[in-house]
A and B are shown apart, each in its own frame.
Chain A
């Protein structure tokens, strides 16, 4: 019914019909329609219900700025009907109304709830009795909101694609200025990206029907190599990084120069009933008619503060809308008023709209002269009230980039004054309004960006000078704008300053009365500017209301801080792809095939067990076991000063270690605290092979590198952690298994405990370390990661006849606990010293060299620690939680359990704990308080299994 004849700039294809549903009802549209234009054409006037009062809301801006048309599309809330294009079969639903959009129960709050719902009501009411708060919260959350997310999202449905793009120049805004800037910079050789929110660049030119101009600019920009990202919203400015949301892609744009040509945002007027369906911004009404050939109303009243509204009135008249009257706030209306008068349209100077009346939509508008106290009011029957309260620069990105503003009295808004070096504004956002002026402004910005990058020539420099001259001239010819009253007509009804959050001018007054008398405080208290429009439609009205009610000037009130995101964006877009970096050993696939229970261990995926941790541990003690220890940190330290380097890093000595021998080492911090441990094998006179804990590998490598750089020693440090696989073959039958896979003499005489040797295992060159973390005869075998599965398979095959089993991290923890071998980070913390951890023997204070932490360790040697790390056994079979508290006789916490397990080979519960030093003696009884249970344990200072290390050395 409301479709117009073909419009010159229309974006719809009348030959292609599309059907979609709105709240279950079928709606017909043309390809190119937005949901909003199609529904409006079908007669729909109410698009949503407001946030708090559940008032009817209809199309207003038709540009994705305001919150009035937010709907859910195919179950996803947050879509703006006015910009979301229709697709065949799409399912559109209203949000925030129950049981239906037409009959919303919660709309009672509009009539009766005002008294109970002042700003900040949730701080004042619904707070007692406190136990009912969860109920209140549920009710309030149900009553307000912008739609509901589905509880379950199909996997990767919201997958975002990140795309990083570097550019010389990024232009944000594809209107006349933006296109001109992009074209100018690209024609001088710059790599330019242009981002525009619309389905196609053109900005206001499109709505004004200047398609040919757009086509020309676009064509020239493309020919110059500009990459155009349409339907892309620049979300913010983060130190030069501009994230741009485009569909399911988040572009991360980094440019050397930025041109912000985001234009202006038309502002509403604050009057009674200014949110009724049928109250529409002038640009919105024009866009609806020009782009989608939808007649916004049959009889309109226009209220404006500038020529923008007057031009809209002419355009609407040409589109067939009867314009009943035009209220121009200025006492001398602009030039277009002459045209209106000629068309027979009444223009009322110094008038504004005071009230829009109607139940479901506008049916009348009341215009009043601004200087009178009600006299001269005129009432017009109409179904459309077109308002234009001036325009504010869309300056958020500029402000986020560091630009400054000041209040511009002439134009009634905050204008950009300065921008940072790498950022420049162009076009309307910096006050260059008229089309030709905006184009010049863009061209100049593009040229300046190119020149700053070292591009361009004398000709372009001269062109830039000429453009500057023309812009200076144009500055004197800006059309006058009247500043509208902060709010008018409050005695007739609610005057909304903020449509998103249902904040009225009265609400802001209340917040001021309650002491929230700065704009930043009022923002937080009333939530004005915090809704989906992010202040686009409400910041200036709120500032005006605050200025009016506090008696301050607008400049003194100032603005709220511009913060990203500039447009509302799904969290999933920010979340990005679900990349989860995981390190896997080269034997990982085998662990999976063997039924390994794989879990995270630091940044590695590791087999915790193969289904039977205790059985696996027992197998190591009774036969043989094989564990993948490829995650250990591995460093090659080479050079003439390698031994001295390690002597400086460790509290014990390594320069006197014989080639082919291994020594345990603990790395301490400057403060003498344990930070890591591992073994060091001297490979030859100048080469040491250092292992670290799995989780400490990166930190130790950094620690070594840092000191190496500082000391400048003749040492080459190479991190081979990921380059080598490592497995530990351990158990009473380990030697027999080794005999099957290597020619090396593995007898105890030839290959002693703490020897390191080279050998071929199943044909693969390996470094064999005879060490025993798990307490049995053991061979830690290190070899190129390219042979991980080969060596693993060979050892398991060879060990099959001896009952070998693979074992995981959990049985390893049982086994090492039996030997009281510490796990750094598990049994130690940032306060633990080697003395407290019962390892005084590792600190060689008599060493000739200084070493890291020596001063502190000398101190600790003189003052024994208050607590000591000991082993303990439980008498009642209870396995205390790791972290359980060890208490003293008075029940005061005096230590904690660090490790505890049931040992299958010992058939008892064992553990390690920090206890008061006085209790660090064999047989001492300790009390453990664990989750309300108090139990007893007995201290043991020597290993539970093979206390004298005879097995290890056998």
Chain B
């Protein structure tokens, strides 16, 4: 029996993949586009305003569509050239060592991941096991402080730092993607709850939801990291 059922890819044009926060995003005024089979909140009316919010206060973006692959095998993290507690940017994906024998790859293309995965590694598509958000902006650390006890100060969590941690009382994972930019993962089923928690904290601090397109002007640090890798 095939393992295809784990994957968020369909063969039908009308079978559009949806994130668990779609309804909350819609209620906040999101405009959607289908991209790569996903119905994505690309903006909330003005990508420029959203990008500004991401530069000046904080913006949160639903990025649950990012591919997530779990790699398992003895010493897989080391064999993949990963260092514990640090995410490595490779092929537009974050390679995150969770334990010596387990790693999570966020983003990128499955083929590239499988190519880089050490031989004999089990690779399972867990894209919809985890929802994800990107929190961007100078206030993003303060937003996290409202619902997460992780120490995200630069000296403890530098850029590319990785923290498996409780987020709003739920198991989660935080990757510091850039100076003021964090990618965080949490269970797919708590998406609605997590949106509420983030919205509650961020709005209070002047933040707002932002569409995927608002992230485009802010991609430079990630692109740099990818190119370095």
Q: Residues of A at under 8 Å CB distance from B?
A: 161-166, 191, 252, 254, 577, 579-586, 588-589, 604, 630, 636, 638-639, 659-660, 681-684, 687, 689, 716-724, 756-758, 760, 762-767, 782-790
Least CB distance from B126 to A in Å reads 6
Is there contact, CB below 8 Å, between B10 and A787? yes
Whether, in the assembled complex, B216 has its beta carbon less than 8 Å from a beta carbon of chain A, the answer is no
CB < 8 Å: which of A586, A639, A758, A764 contacts B20? A586
Is there contact, CB below 8 Å, between B7 and A787? no
* Complex Cα spacing A908 to B204, Å: 56
Q: Could you give, for residues 122-166 of chain B, a 1 whenever the CB lies within 8 Å of some chain A CB and a 0 otherwise?
A: 101011111000000000001001111111010110000000000
Q: Which 3 A-B pairs have the closest CB atoms?
A: A763-B12, A723-B129, A786-B17
Interface of chain B residues 198 through 217 with chain A (CB within 8 A):
200-201, 204
Least CB distance from B29 to A in Å reads 17
Q: Residues of B at under 8 Å CB distance from A?
A: 1-20, 23, 38, 70, 72-73, 122, 124, 126-130, 142, 145-151, 153, 155-156, 168-170, 187-193, 197, 200-201, 204
Task: For B153, list chain A residues within 8 Å (CB).
Answer: 166, 191
* Complex Cα spacing A617 to B7, Å: 33
Task: For B190, list chain A residues within 8 Å (CB).
Answer: 581-584, 722
CB < 8 Å: which of A585, A765, A784 contacts B189? A585
* Complex Cα spacing A586 to B8, Å: 13
Least CB distance from A560 to B in Å reads 31
Chain A: which residue is nearest B4 at the CB level?
A: A765
Is there contact, CB below 8 Å, between A718 and B7? no
* Complex Cα spacing A659 to B2, Å: 11
Chain B: which residue is nearest A589 at the CB level?
A: B23
Least CB distance from A620 to B in Å reads 24
Least CB distance from B167 to A in Å reads 10
* Complex Cα spacing A660 to B1, Å: 6
Most buried by B among A717, A787, A789: A787
Chain A: which residue is nearest B126 at the CB level?
A: A723
* Complex Cα spacing A765 to B201, Å: 38
Q: Is the interface of B mostly helix, strand, loop or mixed?
A: loop
Task: For B5, list chain A residues within 8 Å (CB).
Answer: 724, 758, 765-767, 782-784
* Complex Cα spacing A520 to B101, Å: 54
CB < 8 Å: which of A165, A583, A683, A763 contacts B1? A683
Chain A: which residue is nearest B196 at the CB level?
A: A579
Task: For B14, list chain A residues within 8 Å (CB).
Answer: 762-763, 790
* Complex Cα spacing A687 to B126, Å: 16
Task: For A638, list chain B residues within 8 Å (CB).
Answer: 122, 124
30 pairs across A/B with beta carbons < 8 Å? A161-B146, A162-B146, A163-B142, A163-B146, A165-B145, A579-B193, A582-B190, A582-B192, A584-B193, A585-B189, A586-B18, A604-B189, A660-B1, A682-B1, A716-B73, A717-B72, A718-B70, A718-B124, A718-B126, A719-B129, A722-B188, A758-B5, A765-B2, A784-B7, A784-B8, A784-B128, A786-B127, A787-B17, A789-B18, A790-B16
Most buried by B among A161, A659, A756: A161
Chain B: which residue is nearest A784 at the CB level?
A: B8
Known A758-B2, A763-B14, A765-B7: A722·B156 in contact at CB below 8 Å: no
CB < 8 Å: which of A252, A581, A636 contacts B170? A581
* Complex Cα spacing A99 to B200, Å: 43
Most buried by B among A636, A684, A719, A720: A720
Is there contact, CB below 8 Å, between B200 and A577? yes
Please give 9 more A-B residue pairs, beta carbons under 8 A apart, in addition to A586-B189, A762-B14: A161-B204, A191-B153, A252-B149, A582-B190, A584-B192, A660-B1, A716-B124, A720-B6, A722-B188
Task: For A722, list chain B residues within 8 Å (CB).
Answer: 128-130, 187-190
CB < 8 Å: which of A581, A586, A765 contacts B10? A765
